[in-house]
Structure 1
Amino acid sequence: MATWEDLAAFVRAEYAVAEDVDTETEYRIIEDGDDEIRVLVEYEDDRSQIVIIYRERLDGREDWVQVVSVIGRAADVDLQKLLWELGQVSVVCGAVIMGEHVLLRHSVPLLNLDINEFTDPLNFIAETADHLEEMFFRDDDH
């Protein structure tokens, strides 16, 4: 995998409508743009999470991909408790505040990307975001 176009084509083929039979998790592309694709991840317990995959240009010369999921409004959570829980359940992503929301985010360079360096973090981001959202925000706003 070396370009955004390669990764986007993979995402479109893999997640147009896909199901992980081991976990009964469904993936479905809900928005598809030039530099951003949104995937709805639906779990067997009727919860769901939106994962945003987008190209980021580092220093105007190197393409990276970011995998992001919003978990809730920053003003509505004890950030210290949320960060402590994140430290217990994940080694893949970090939490950031963008605008009014807390997001989980993972970034990797596209140049020498191995596909498992993308698919595994995407799954971990979705699962961790859903766990934290359920634990700290109660409502499933994706």
Structure 2
Amino acid sequence: MAEWGDLVAYIRESYRVVRDEPDELRIRLVFGDDPDTEQRAQIVVIAREILDQREDWVQIATPFARHEEVDLLEVLTEVGDAIVVGGLAVMGEHVVLRHSLPLINLDINEFTDPLELVAGAAELLEQQFTGRDDY
């Protein structure tokens, strides 16, 4: 898979798309298969980015809190101690966990593994720092 259109086709087939725009998809991932526990979900933004006006990249980003609701130093410390894939950013009023990948020569597992790791980590951060399931 080396083009945005190929990745978009894969995402449409494999995930629940909740928003579909030319350079951005939003999907909803659900966590928890146990019918006795409440399922949690995470909205993930998958966006096409152009690096240096020549290279196609894909960015995986998911919000987990509003920046005014959390102690950013505490969140950064937790991410530094516990998160392997992704980095923190403030985008608008949200704190997001995100990861970027070059599209050229991208194998599907190079996309799905970081997608699941970023979404799962953001879900845990949301639960830990807000106690809610807003995203």
* TM-score (normalizing by structure 2): 0.92
Between the aligned partners of 2:45 and 2:124, the Cα distance in structure 1 is: 17
Partner of 2:89: 96
Counterpart selection for 2:114 from 115, 121, 139: 121
Q: CA deviation at 1:89?
A: 2.3
**SS state of the match for residue 141, structure 1?**
coil
Which residue of 6, 11, 21 corresponds with 1:33?
A: 21
Does residue 134 of structure 2 align to residue 141 of structure 1?
Answer: yes
Query: How much has 1:3 moved relative to structure 2?
Result: 0.5
- 2:72 matched to 1:79? yes
Which residue of the other structure, out of 33, 47, 50, is the alignment partner of 2:43?
Answer: 50
The residue identity in structure 2 corresponding to 1:40 is R
Look up the equivalent residue of 1:111 and give its one-letter code.
I
Read off the aligned partner of 2:2 and give its amino acid letter.
A
Question: Match of 1:140, as an amino acid?
Answer: D
Mapped to 1, the partners of 2:47 and 2:92 lie a distance apart of: 18
Q: CA deviation at 1:117?
A: 1.1
2:11 maps to what in 1?
A: 11
- 2: CA distance, partners of 1:48 / 1:94: 20
Note the residue ranges of structure 1 that are not aligned, 5 or more in a row: 16-27
TM-score normalised over the length of structure 1: 0.88
Distance in 1 of aligned mates of 2:73 and 2:40: 25
- Partner SS, residue 134 of structure 1: helix
Q: Structure 2: 5+ residue runs without aligned partners? A: 33-37
Residues matched between the structures, number: 130
Q: Deviations over 1:16-58 (max 9, x none)?
A: xxxxxxxxxxxx2111111111110112232110011010011
What's the % identity of the aligned pairs? 52
State how far apart, in whole Å, the 1-side matches of 2:66 and 2:88 are: 12
Helix, strand or coil at the partner of 1:88: helix
Q: Which runs of 4+ in 1 moved over 2 A?
A: none
> Amino acid of the residue matched to residue 30 of structure 2?
E
Secondary structure of the equivalent of 1:29?
Answer: strand
Q: Which residue of 1 aligns with 2:57?
A: 64
Query: What is the Cα-based RMSD across aligned positions, in Å?
Result: 1.0
- TM-aligned CA deviation for residue 88 of structure 1: 2.5
User: Aligned equivalents of 1:61 and 1:55: distance in 2?
Assistant: 12
